[in-house]
Amino acid sequence: MEEVNRFKERGYTNIDILPKVENRRNMTLANYFTLWMGSIHNVPNYAMVAAFMLLGLSTFNTMVAIALSGLAVAGLMMANGRAGAKYGIPFAMHLRSTYGDAGAKLPGFLRGVVAAIAWFGVQTYFGSKALLIIIGSLAPGFLNIGGGATFLGMSVASWIAFIVFWLMNMAIGLSGGEVLNKFTAILTPIIYIVFGGMTIWAIRGAGGLGAIFNYVNPAAAHVNPLLGYLIMISGVLSVWAAPGASVADFTQNAKNERDSGIGQAAGLFVGHALFGFMAVAIFAGGNIIYNTNFTEVLDIINSWDTIPAVIIATAVFVLSTISTNATSNIIPAGYQLSALFPDKVDYKRGVMIAGIISVIIMPWKFAEGEGAFLTFLSFIGALLGPVAGVMIAHFYLIKNQQIDLDALYFDPKHPETSHFSGLNRNAYIATIVGLLVSVIGQFIPALSVLSDLSWMVGFATALVVYTLLQQDRA
């Protein structure tokens, strides 16, 4: 506490960027387990699995690949979250420790503004589609409001559902992490009960597990199995690219490093293993039962004849999407905007700014057309994979997990006294090289595989380049 008071005296009056003192760290192993377990089941993630099933791998291999993706995400979150858990610092200061105080602004903007707001809008759009199904089931006439008129690509009914769902998300975001902990603790078991029931329905309706494992999507391509595995793992990492970069915003609240590490590892691996089995079984079973090719899980639910079942299943999707949206998007956006403009923007004002921008960018456009969502994922992975690569290389390979907090929170009146002042050029070079390598496949067809694996390529490239540059400087 004495150290924090010293930082306040230097001008760090925004409590959101100060190290969390012990009595303000309230997240336990169980909190992390339920937080990430509940964040996996949402409409965009199911859309991702439907896209994976078009790669042509067997349903069993798709399930295994998603489980392995959970291990990869767990490794990322544990590794990049250690600085937050060890020192109590938020993502903004974790960035400063890597890129310097001036240098931290660009990667902070990419994660906390570009990626977080884009994801918040996309999640809000998908969640509003689930909400619209509930409203339409209870009041079918609602879907005809406006007589078929559209505005900016959405019907009047869709707009109403979008605004209502946006307000629900904003309420959770403004309330902060404490309400979210309670929300996810209650929601997580409900998620697995409901989606477990959907999985049983799909398996029984399809004629058993054998039919699920033998199912082949008739529209599927036939990519090399190893490439298919890598595409799926990179795709899931891209989904988690934003929270993977800013995980310190959550691990800074850990009661201890053990709770943070084990809770995240267990929640992410077990959650993805269960999610992979459930999602693939639901799509395969739904396609077999209805003899069609569903690309959205909401279409499967909306095909049911029992309205109460439709409402219950869709309501859980609505709530789980809110949980994910708050955890991964609106809360980090609020913190990062507060860190970028500490004198003018506090956390709640940052949430409001992010929420408004998320509507202005028309996120429904990111989900239009075949392959649009995977392209969006590739874009997010290319942006943030290199940032995570540099952060992990700096913390583990260059600094041996040591951060001098007194130097990190240097006196702004005397920046020359700290090596964290200014811009880490090598970090910028490595980040830009990683970004360019991971997007080059969008422009050179022969290198398209690099963009298919954008997060992994960007992460590995930036990590290696930064380590080599720093070694040369040493």
Q: Reduced to 3 states, what is the DSSP secondary structure of residue 458?
A: helix
Amino acid residing at 376: F
Task: Report the pLDDT value the prediction gives residue 177, as an integer from 0 to 100.
Answer: 57
* Number of domain units in the chain: 1
Q: Which CATH number goes with the domain that contains 385?
A: 1.10.4160.10
Q: What pLDDT does residue 370 have?
A: 57
Q: Which two tokens stand for residue 129?
A: 């589609």
State which residues of the chain have pLDDT below 70: 1, 176-185, 369-371, 472-474
- Write out the DSSP string of 109-172: HIIIIIIHHHHHHHHHHHHHHHHHHHHHHH-GGGGGTTTT-EETTEEHHHHHHHHHHHHHHHHH
User: What count of other Cβ atoms lies within 10 Å of the Cβ of residue 178?
Assistant: 11
Whose structure tokens read 């590490």?
261
Q: In the structure encoding, which two tokens stand for residue 125, read together?
A: 């759009």
Name the one residue in this structure whose structure tokens are 């949402």: 42
Nearest-CA neighbor of 113 among 264, 242, 303, 296?
A: 242
* Tokens coding 152: 């900016």
Residues 6+ apart with CB under 8 A from 253: 20, 24, 25, 26, 27, 177
Q: pTM for the full model?
A: 0.87
Mapped onto helix, strand or coil, the DSSP state of residue 52 is: helix
Q: Which residues form the domain of 203?
A: 1-472
DSSP 428: H
